[in-house]
Structure 1
Amino acid sequence: MFIMDRSIMADGETSAEEKRRWTGPPEAQELEERMTCLRLLFEDAADDRILARRELGAAADEFLLRLTTRQQALTREYSRLANLKRPLDLSGMTEADRAAEAERLREEKLQKARQLQDQGDMSGARECEGLARIIDFDVKQGGEYLNSICCVGNIYTFDHTEESPVGPMRFTNRPWQDKMCVNCASINILSVKIACSDIDFPIQVYGTVVARDCIDYKCVYLFRRDNDHCQLISSNEESLILTGPKRGLALWYGADYVQTDLWVKDRQGHCKQFSKGIVRIPGTANQVFDKCEPETVSLATRLSTVDVTYDVVECAVEATVAAEVTQGEFFGAMTAHTTRSKRRIVLFDSQVGGDKCHGIEVTPRWNGGHEFVLTLGDATICVKVTWSMVDPRL
């Protein structure tokens, strides 16, 4: 599955999810409340100064001196408390420490949910319970952060592991003039690489990488392997072998996301969490389409930094490619690229290189499809390309 630029064809196609900082020792909340009180007292003192000069005139000098002294004392106390709230040095934190802190944060959220429930605030209680499922702690994230998406309609009922039921070719048989369709931008995920590893290469990687788009924000798998089928990564130049997405990813006014839950298995068979978190790809409201250059977003968590490289296609159409070897055997790779970006997307790779390269240009369409036959040596391959609009709505 890859995305073509439909505009070329016309010529001839923190919020809550942002990472959050750990603010210091357990008494940080109490310090915050004291600092808020100090701010209010400081403002009251300033108001008293104005009132005194207005009503008492020259007789207010002594009173103003006391107020000035009071303000200075408040300022010193505020600065002292602010220094206590500086982020701690987390560099010596062990994995056990990290896991314990993550569990403490989850329990804290659940405790807050119980308090809100006792107060009759069921909406707030359910939101806290939903956040408790995805709140996490990681030194590389600066402390507390969310490891999955939270900008969903109801975080309490949202299943973060559910696969999107929406498939490809939704509008293949619908006339493109149909006003019920809303064509939008899309993204092609070009590669997912382990840019940096705290464990020496080579490494055996398994787990999942999923995309979440504005159609339903459910899992669209890009990479999925269990610990019996790890991928061997020998260097940071190698990409994970992506097997998705299964459909075009709609990029509308919000944002799309790529989420990792990767593990490594050592030679003794022990498993460690390698990457867990989520990166944001901004929607069309924040995109500039003058250039067609790939962009890379990075996610530093656990034992690695993962780079996700993608490009945005404006006014996109979805191309679903099916290939069948009808005669002989085929060894080699099949790739595709869009008109605007020549960065090739691997559709199939037998991991056996060939010495010949054959290419076919196909003009993008709103719907319908193309079918053609390739002859490569002794092999005959029937290739079918099916087109569909990319609509952000269900």
Structure 2
Amino acid sequence: MHFTYCTPGLIPYAARTVSTLQIYSVKIVGTDGKLKLPLHVYGIVAARDAVDYNRNILFSWRRENCQKLTPEDPFLRLTGLSRAIVAVYHVDFEVQLKVKGSSRSRDRALMSHCFTYAGGYHEGLHTTFSSNSFCTVEFSYERLTETVQATILSARVVEGAPWPFEYGGRIMCSSPPQEVTDSLSRQVVLVDSHRSDDGGEMPMGSDGYLDLSRHVVSVELEESLQFVIQAYSQSGDAIARQGSVRFRTKYCNISRAICEIDDSKVEITVAWSQLAKHKRDILLEGHV
């Protein structure tokens, strides 16, 4: 959000629209005979790009609050990014995952591996596999060109009775807008009560604010950003209600829009910002 509050038409030179990587999912797709799902997993998955080479966290769970992976749900519950991954040059990915045992001394390394995305100009959804003798981790991502960063500041139920998420729900976004399918392959899932630790209840704070797991997505200048909000049925295995709303892409500033789900309304607030190719550009112009 370095350039969110810039004046339109007076954008600093350091602000660019650059290629970025949109990360959709990270999945444990295979284990050997010694290590089978379900697993209680903790650790870190992070990306490092040429902007500052710092860790940009995708997944970070402590041993005391590890995630249970099952054959029905082998996806890591992503908690990042903190900013868009700039893909002008190569991007390094770091995977440090452990399996929780009955005691810390019985914990077992699941994967400790680094690999590099070397760039390229291919389009569409891509999958990269990282493997060792215990498991295979599948990264699903897409390289987008000429992008800005959208930071979802909040999603808040501002009107509606009864409560639209009585049986839980899911919020996701996509750019370019995608049809919602069972695989959700090109949707960035911001929150899903089925994957929360609250017994299927929609995680929320006070005053109707929903607690999102992910906040940052990349949006191409020529595309819009679509949000889809779904409310689950009482059975929990079907969508009872659904609404959608689209945002027009901006270089900077903040946008708000209302998504209607039957008689309920959810207000979504998005901050827009261009990106920096390197941290020195930000420092030279005083944008810290």
The reply to whether TM is greater than 0.5 is: yes
Aligned pair partner of 1:214 in 50, 53, 59:
50
Q: Which has the higher contact order (CA 8 A, sep 6+)?
A: 2
Distance 2:13 2:100 in 1: 51
User: 5 Å matches for 1:178-189?
Assistant: 178-189=12-23
Is 1:227–2:58 an aligned residue pair?
Answer: no
Q: Which residue of 1 aligns with 2:216?
A: none
* Amino acid paired to 1:360: V
Is 1:264–2:99 an aligned residue pair?
Answer: yes
Shift of residue 201, structure 1, vs aligned partner: 1.2
Q: Secondary structure at the match of 1:263?
A: strand
Is 1:337–2:174 an aligned residue pair?
Answer: yes
Q: Which residue of 2 aligns with 1:197?
A: 31
Q: Retained in 1: the 8 A contact 2:245–2:257?
A: no
> CA distance change for structure 1 residues 264 and 389 in 2, over 3 Å: closer, same or farther?
same
User: Equivalent pairs: percent with the same residue?
Assistant: 25
Q: Which residue of 2 aligns with 1:288?
A: 121
Is 1:364–2:233 an aligned residue pair?
Answer: no
Q: Which residue of 1 aligns with 2:189?
A: 346
More helix by share: 1
Distance 1:334 1:365 in 2: 22
> CA distance change for structure 1 residues 341 and 327 in 2, over 3 Å: closer, same or farther?
closer
Q: Secondary structure at the match of 1:228?
A: helix
* Amino acid paired to 2:274: M
Q: Which residue of 1 aligns with 2:129?
A: 298
Q: Which residue of 2 aligns with 1:373?
A: 258
Aligned pair partner of 1:312 in 143, 147, 150:
143
Is 1:246–2:113 an aligned residue pair?
Answer: no
Computed over aligned residues only, the root mean square deviation of the Cα atoms, in angstroms, reads 2.2
More strand by share: 2
Q: Secondary structure at the match of 1:314?
A: strand
Distance 1:300 1:372 in 2: 42
Q: Retained in 1: the 8 A contact 2:243–2:260?
A: no
Q: Secondary structure at the match of 2:248?
A: coil
Q: Give a deviation string over 1:95-120, Cα, whole Å, max 9, x none.
A: xxxxxxxxxxxxxxxxxxxxxxxxxx
Distance 1:319 1:309 in 2: 20
Distance 1:301 1:216 in 2: 29
Distance 2:133 2:87 in 1: 29
Q: Secondary structure at the match of 1:356?
A: strand
Which of 1 and 2 has greater Rg? 1
> CA distance change for structure 1 residues 215 and 341 in 2, over 3 Å: closer, same or farther?
farther
Q: Which residue of 2 aligns with 1:323?
A: 155
Q: Give a deviation string over 1:344-363, Cα, whole Å, max 9, x none.
A: 11011122434111111212
Shift of residue 237, structure 1, vs aligned partner: 5.9
Which consecutive residues of structure 2, in runs of 5 or more, have no partner in the other structure? Answer: 180-185, 195-199, 201-231, 233-238, 280-288
Q: Give a deviation string over 1:30-64, Cα, whole Å, max 9, x none.
A: xxxxxxxxxxxxxxxxxxxxxxxxxxxxxxxxxxx
Distance 1:371 1:275 in 2: 41
* Alignment TM-score, normalising by the size of structure 2: 0.70
Distance 2:87 2:112 in 1: 23
Q: Retained in 1: the 8 A contact 2:101–2:107?
A: yes
Q: Retained in 2: the 8 A contact 1:209–1:259?
A: yes
* Amino acid paired to 1:371: R
Q: Which residue of 1 aligns with 2:271?
A: 386
Q: Give a deviation string over 1:306-357, Cα, whole Å, max 9, x none.
A: 1111101100111111212335643301000011766111011122434111
Distance 2:93 2:177 in 1: 23
Which consecutive residues of structure 1, in runs of 5 or more, have no partner in the other structure? Answer: 1-168
Q: Secondary structure at the match of 1:359?
A: strand
Point out 4+ residue stretches in structure 1 off by more than 6 angstroms. Answer: none
Q: Retained in 2: the 8 A contact 1:264–1:274?
A: yes
* Alignment TM-score, normalising by the size of structure 1: 0.52
Q: Retained in 2: the 8 A contact 1:194–1:236?
A: no
